[in-house]
Structure 1
Amino acid sequence: MGEELKLLGAWGSPFSRRVEIALKIKGIEYEYLEEDIFHNKSALLLEHNPVHKKVPVLVHNGKPIAESLVILEYIDETWKDKPILPRDPYERAIARFWAKFLDEKCLPALWKSCMSVGPEREKAHEEAHEVLSTLEGELKGKKFFGGDTVGFVDIVANFVGYWTGVLQEVAGVDVLTEDKFPVLCKWAEEFQNCPVIKENLPPRDKLLAFFKAQREMITSFYKNKAW
């Protein structure tokens, strides 16, 4: 069956990388189209994701699917080999629960903890510590969230496993550290060292430079803000 598969993504986006990891795990061929999401969104992106105008967007035989969690489930349902979601309905529901927790609680808390400035920073650190403690508890006794191999929740947690370390370095903060979260740190190391993950992570130096510029803009805005 001749299939056309395109992925509209951005090199530094953890959400785009989730989709790439899932496609690579399953050995699915696709065409990657890089988007300039900050300065020049393509007509194709605006056409295929008119609601959010964001990446990633997977275009399968001309039909677009947006939002990374939705795309991951679509990939798993369309290409059955090498499943990333559990086949048991209860376990699948639990995986969805943790994916939602990661996107709605963990990502915002970790981002704020590393990128916020001023009085709200301390509160952000507390929130980040709380969500990481919850994740640490869920992971105890397992190599990956998915068990012995990388699965749906691990892919969704890529921001925790890689991007957080880069953000910490940029901000000069200690959020995810081995003394506080040994289980999560060991998982992050195992995660990054999986060949399929390692090959699909953005270059660390490029990501560092990008986030440094972002943080400088935030700091500058905060300093110049009229109270």
Structure 2
Amino acid sequence: MADEVILLDFWPSPFGLRARIALAEKGIEYEYKEENLAEKSALLLKSNPVHKKIPVLIHGEKSICESLIIVQYIDEAWKGKSPVLMPAEPYERANARFWADFVDKKIYECGSRIWKNKGEAQEAAKKEFIEYLKLLEGELGEKLYFGGERFGYVDVVFVPFACWFHTYEVHGNFSIEEECPKLIAWVKRCMEKESVSKTLPDPVKVHGFVGILKKKYGVE
């Protein structure tokens, strides 16, 4: 009997969405467990005692933490299942890891500053965010996907943020499509994939969630 697969997650998390897309791409059946981050479950605290954060992938008796590591684990643990997410060639693998790390360190933090701030701080965050998107657009170039002709690792890592774009645009009063049209064309291609379209939540719902967060933390 195959080892049970469980994903501990929270629905709007772009980090958890990465794991869900990767599992969907590989056709892996798993049990989804929604976490209440205000009152974390005993299973989450046991499975990720260091950071106590989602997502956590539980495969049999093994717990895998941190979304980039989880996506790589899914690709390697089920390497016999298509598609392969990571490039085969060492340089391309290193390059994919570089851009995944870039997305991980820059996009979420900078995007969050757009909706958490106003005035000059918000404008600075918006300018920085657009600069990061343009760098990613430059890396995409004329390719269909970041991995080339096929949907791969960097696409899985980055596309979850597409459902947050609406929130950034509303609060920052700008259009990502106007700034980075090729990037939005890439998003639309990704959304044609069932693994993406059936996984990403409605951007309007995400915006509503952020509105609740703003009230909770007194960000007006």
TM-score (norm 1): 0.89
Q: CA deviation at 1:198?
A: 0.4
Q: Secondary structure of the residue that 2:178 maps to in structure 1?
A: coil
Q: CA deviation at 1:150?
A: 1.6
| Structure 1 letter corresponding to 2:100 | A
Q: Secondary structure of the residue that 2:189 maps to in structure 1?
A: helix
Q: CA deviation at 1:133?
A: 1.4
**How do 1:106-145 and structure 2 match up within 5 A?**
106-145=107-146
Assess, with a 3 A threshold, how the Cα gap between structure 1 residues 22 and 98 changes in structure 2: closer, same or farther.
same
Contact 2:163/2:202 (<8 A) preserved: no
Q: CA deviation at 1:208?
A: 2.2
Give the aligned partner of residue 21 of structure 2: 21
Give the aligned partner of residue 225 of structure 1: none
Q: Secondary structure of the residue that 1:153 maps to in structure 2?
A: helix
**How do 1:27-106 and structure 2 match up within 5 A?**
27-37=27-37, 39-80=38-79, 81=81, 82-106=83-107
Alignment of 1:150 with 2:117, yes or no, is no
Q: Secondary structure of the residue that 1:99 maps to in structure 2?
A: helix
Identity of aligned residues (%): 42
Contact 1:107/1:159 (<8 A) preserved: no
Q: Deviations over 1:163-213 (max 9, x none)?
A: 1223323x152152x222111111112122322100111233432211112
Q: Supply the distance in 1 between the matched residues of 2:216 and 2:175 (Cα, whole angstroms).
A: 22
Contact 1:162/1:188 (<8 A) preserved: no
Q: Flag structure 1 segments of 5+ consecutive residues without an equivalent.
A: 223-227
Aligned residues: 218
Contact 1:57/1:64 (<8 A) preserved: yes
Q: Secondary structure of the residue that 2:8 maps to in structure 1?
A: strand
Q: Secondary structure of the residue that 2:49 maps to in structure 1?
A: coil
Q: Supply the distance in 2 between the matched residues of 1:78 and 1:2 (Cα, whole angstroms).
A: 12
TM-score (norm 2): 0.92
Q: Flag structure 2 segments of 5+ consecutive residues without an equivalent.
A: none
Q: Secondary structure of the residue that 2:57 maps to in structure 1?
A: strand
RMSD: 1.7
Q: Deviations over 1:31-75 (max 9, x none)?
A: 1111011x2110000001011111000111111110000111111
**How do 1:138-217 and structure 2 match up within 5 A?**
138-169=139-170, 171=171, 173-174=173-174, 176=176, 178-217=177-216
4+ long deviations beyond 4 Å? none
Q: Supply the distance in 2 between the matched residues of 1:62 and 1:203 (Cα, whole angstroms).
A: 33
Q: Deviations over 1:5-38 (max 9, x none)?
A: 111111111111110110110011111111011x
| Structure 2 letter corresponding to 1:68 | S
Contact 1:161/1:192 (<8 A) preserved: no
Q: Supply the distance in 1 between the matched residues of 2:109 and 2:129 (Cα, whole angstroms).
A: 9
Q: Deviations over 1:130-157 (max 9, x none)?
A: 1111111111111111222221101111
| Structure 2 letter corresponding to 1:215 | K
